[in-house]
Structure 1
Amino acid sequence: MRKILLLLLQCHLLVAGVSASCPIFLTISLAGKTLADACLEINWGPDCYAPPEWIGIYREDPSVSNLAPEVHISGIQNRTGKRQTPFKLGKLHFPGGWDRQDAEQALSVTSYPKGKCLPYYAASYNGTELLTIDCLKFQPNWMAHLTDAAHMPLKRLFLPGTHASGAYITNYSKTKSLLVKDYLVAQHFDVWSQLVFGIRYLDLSIGYRNTDTKDGNSEVDKFWIVNENMFINPLTGVLRDVRRFVELSNEVVVLDFSSFPIGFYKHTEVYSGLFQLIRQELGDVAYERNVSINEHCADRSFEELRLVGRQVVILFPTQELPHPENESELLCPPWQRFSTSYMNMSETLDYMRLLFSKKPDSPVQDDGWIFHAVKSIEQALNNHKLQTAKERAALINPRVNLWLSGPWGLNANVVAMDYFSNTNLVDLAIRVNAFLATNQKFINLEIISR
């Protein structure tokens, strides 16, 4: 009984944080047409019992400067909420060599195990008294900082992820299709930036573009990221971003080849061509599992992968490959996937209650599992309104983020979202992992299924 009470107290501290100080955090709004046009959002809570009198947005750390706030927000009364500000994000620059163009040629980069603030700060006040402060940050080395969690298996960690990770646009002015811009793009940031911000799971849907190669294109150029059955970006650049990131960061990335909607059906030779591309681009950094004992890659820890210098975990349906490629050590069987694509918000809550509380009848087993918190276009149509991808993410992301801030977050493995940047998913995962690593002996997840 004493252990149960202690666990519940620890869960309360994890969920509530310092309630009296009313924690705040910054996210990126999904209202802008492009990333540069996107505005910052201020978030507070959950369960803020003593809202501050006002919140200021700054370009510099207000605790060490006397600058006036760029934006002044007052009248906060709800215990949990968010408010869009007129403060535009503009062009992002990652210091320490973490911009892609710098990292491509760099021999080393600056390590930021506790994260690095970008020049966007939020601070809360009562009168002139500074209460709390937060910043929009990138976290390329957060796993290295969680030393107590380094020996926990991947299936016990909370890994922040993105859904349709490769469905992004780097230049909106060159993309004429409104269908692509509004309905098929699923992320503000390219894969490199997602990883630098702290994402550690990538969901890739692959299509095969069967065009002739008379223009000089090689066979590998025919593999593309697709979303909603349309080609978005070449795959090769995404794989090279993943490789370069793990080489510089020494972090773990789970790469999930989740679907193959175009050009693969009944074509084992196309699957083989994709495998050859993966082996070519990631063969030196991909984890090699013990095939003879059917090893589960989710049982490996971050530290074990780091020690062997192979920190990309590749999930792939090996049954689609011919022998002997289907027994390659580089490929791990897919983890269990669960999606809210066709659920309304009430159904999503019930589904999360089933999965994350780990009830006896829950489909979550003792292996790696992935929760895709997304809404499909079809689900939007069921509500008699054709919502854009951003509109759908703006509705579901904050709700799921809030629900995971409670005890359910302790049970999460991989959580993947569209447009993750309107949440603090990475910070939430870091806090949960730190809590789990230092309190493992008290964890009895069955008692928090309330």
Structure 2
Amino acid sequence: MYLSFLLIICYTLPPLLRACPIYLTISLDGKTLQDSHIEVNWGPECHEYPEWIGIFNEDPSTAYVPPEARITDITNSSGKIVSDVKIGKLRFPQGWNNYDENVVPIEYPKGKCLPYYVASFNGTELLTVECLKIQPNWMSKLDHIAQMPLKELFIPGTHASAAYVANLTKTKSVLIKDYVVAQQFDVWSQLVFGIRYLDFSIGYDKIDDVYDSNNADNFYIVNENKLVRPLRSVLKDIKRFVQLSHEVVILDFSSFPIGFYKHPERHSGLNHLLREEVGDIVYIRNTSTQEGSKQCDELTIEEIRKDNKYLIILYPVQELPYPESESKMLCSNWKRFSTAFMNTSEALDNMRLLFSKKQNSPIQNEGWVFQAIRSMEQSLNNNKLETAKERAAILNPKVTSWLKGPWSLAANVVAFDYFSNTNIIDVAIYANMHKAFNMANKNFVNFEIVSV
């Protein structure tokens, strides 16, 4: 047996080249998305501080433009500052807006910057540039990950994915505004940004109706025990996105809190709706007992897309009556873990156990979902009923910071409320690049020679 040798020579960079990592997120401080401010984040492990950081509406590395905002006195190794710059009316490049019909969008293998840039400087010397970006094609364009099983990928996701209201200013209910809504963006926009796992809780409207369980208009997205929006329109958006992008997306039907208890026929009706709306793009499992049959978490992107299929549907198949419970269109739910009822230190300890994948970890060689969320009940432990935004603003930055170390290489699905105040998509992409590189070079021996 012969081994190839990969020689990597590393050397210590001059101080100014060890630039402090910076990135942009969207604050949760606005009553609407347009009123929300841009957040500047830096770190972790920012040791060589820049003299100042600027926010720009054009790329400052290609043309001189004055900053929209300027931040000085960066002295901590990591941090976050809410700027005075508002998002305003956000538009995607042509073809990637939900209302852009009959337009073939441009592919962006490495993402596409929106007009929100952040750059760090020493005096007039430019150190780093980053931007708020969309990543509509990252999964299908990233080298080598198409050959990796889903359970080995870091898949960025959202919790309560469709718990979104387009115009909160017209919503009179405080309960809806502060506790039911869990995302700043609709499902279409989440997918354009780069989210690839969607979590759905489903309710059945008109729960006294026992005779019309196949009525697709009765199936609703639910959050905090409230009906939010019809499921059918969400499925149509998902289908249109994957047909444009050719990206693989996981739909996880995680709970059924309204109208499904002791009503298996409603599960059958929901299964009928899924076949009707997305059946032609859902991966159909090979249920052969012959050697080679795979569990859904063992599938690769390459295998899923082979016949122009793009969706994996996770579903509690035991809730369906026979023979629908053996539907080849549905995969059993993956293991799911949540921080909903944990305080911050408990969440960290839980992550340490899960992401270590040591012998005592409940996670081994399987697909799994980590939900970085806090429940309303947990917030009451702090003697204050925090809104969904307040809970996410506390937890999200901590979890994304913890994931930037070696835990990112152990992650599978990670889902957030209000994902937009994290850079979880970039974190996942960098982790998957690392994983793919390791897989592609697994027969190489790596010697590191460090020159000071």
Same fold (TM over 0.5): yes
Amino acid at match of 1:345: T
CA distance in 2, matches of 1:74, 1:418: 31
Farther off after superposition, 294-303 or 361-370: 294-303
CA distance in 1, matches of 2:403, 2:17: 17
Amino acid at match of 2:128: T
Within the alignment, does 1:433 sit opposite 2:438 as a pair?
no
Within the alignment, does 1:289 sit opposite 2:288 as a pair?
no
Within the alignment, does 1:33 sit opposite 2:48 as a pair?
no
Within the alignment, does 1:111 sit opposite 2:110 as a pair?
no
Specify the SS of the correspondent of 1:288: coil
Question: Do the aligned partners of 1:19 and 1:50 also contact (CA within 8 Å) in 2?
Answer: no
Deviations 1:101-124 (A, max 9, x none): 10x433x22101100000000000
What residue in structure 2 maps to residue 43 of structure 1?
41
Unaligned runs of 5+ in 1: 1-5, 444-450
Amino acid at match of 1:308: D
Deviations 1:304-344 (A, max 9, x none): 11222111000001111111111111100000000000000
CA distance in 2, matches of 1:414, 1:218: 31
CA distance in 1, matches of 2:274, 2:141: 29
Within the alignment, does 1:174 sit opposite 2:170 as a pair?
yes
What residue in structure 1 maps to residue 447 of structure 2?
none
What residue in structure 2 maps to residue 55 of structure 1?
53
> How far off is 1:302 after superposition?
0.9
Specify the SS of the correspondent of 1:283: helix
Amino acid at match of 1:421: S
Within the alignment, does 1:155 sit opposite 2:151 as a pair?
yes
Within the alignment, does 1:126 sit opposite 2:122 as a pair?
yes
Deviations 1:269-304 (A, max 9, x none): 110000000111110000111123473111111111
What residue in structure 1 maps to residue 131 of structure 2?
135
Amino acid at match of 1:372: Q
What residue in structure 2 maps to residue 387 of structure 1?
386
CA distance in 1, matches of 2:356, 2:53: 35
Question: Do the aligned partners of 1:291 and 1:328 also contact (CA within 8 Å) in 2?
Answer: no
Question: Do the aligned partners of 1:291 and 1:327 also contact (CA within 8 Å) in 2?
Answer: no
CA distance in 1, matches of 2:235, 2:159: 16
Higher helix share goes to which structure? 1
Q: 1:199 to 1:180 in 2, by over 3 A?
A: same
CA distance in 2, matches of 1:206, 1:334: 15
Q: 1:218 to 1:246 in 2, by over 3 A?
A: same
Specify the SS of the correspondent of 1:439: helix
Specify the SS of the correspondent of 1:199: coil
Deviations 1:87-143 (A, max 9, x none): 0001111113100010x433x221011000000000000000000000000000001
CA distance in 2, matches of 1:312, 1:286: 5
Q: 1:339 to 1:211 in 2, by over 3 A?
A: closer
Q: 1:286 to 1:442 in 2, by over 3 A?
A: same
Amino acid at match of 2:438: N
CA distance in 1, matches of 2:442, 2:397: 29
CA distance in 2, matches of 1:177, 1:254: 31
CA distance in 1, matches of 2:161, 2:356: 27
CA distance in 2, matches of 1:359, 1:365: 8
Question: Do the aligned partners of 2:318 and 2:325 also contact (CA within 8 Å) in 1?
Answer: yes
> How far off is 1:175 after superposition?
1.5
Question: Do the aligned partners of 1:39 and 1:88 also contact (CA within 8 Å) in 2?
Answer: yes
Unaligned runs of 5+ in 2: 1-5, 444-452
1:18-417 → structure 2 map (5 Å cutoff): 20-102=18-100, 104-106=101-103, 108-210=104-206, 219-293=215-289, 295-417=294-416
Q: 1:171 to 1:439 in 2, by over 3 A?
A: same
Question: Do the aligned partners of 1:32 and 1:38 also contact (CA within 8 Å) in 2?
Answer: yes
CA distance in 1, matches of 2:23, 2:230: 34
Question: Do the aligned partners of 2:31 and 2:169 also contact (CA within 8 Å) in 1?
Answer: no
Deviations 1:54-112 (A, max 9, x none): 0010111111121110101101100011100010001111113100010x433x22101
4+ residue segments displaced more than 4 Å: none
CA distance in 2, matches of 1:125, 1:231: 48
CA distance in 2, matches of 1:25, 1:292: 47
Specify the SS of the correspondent of 1:284: helix
Specify the SS of the correspondent of 1:265: coil
Deviations 1:147-181 (A, max 9, x none): 21110000000000000001001111331111111
CA distance in 2, matches of 1:211, 1:383: 36
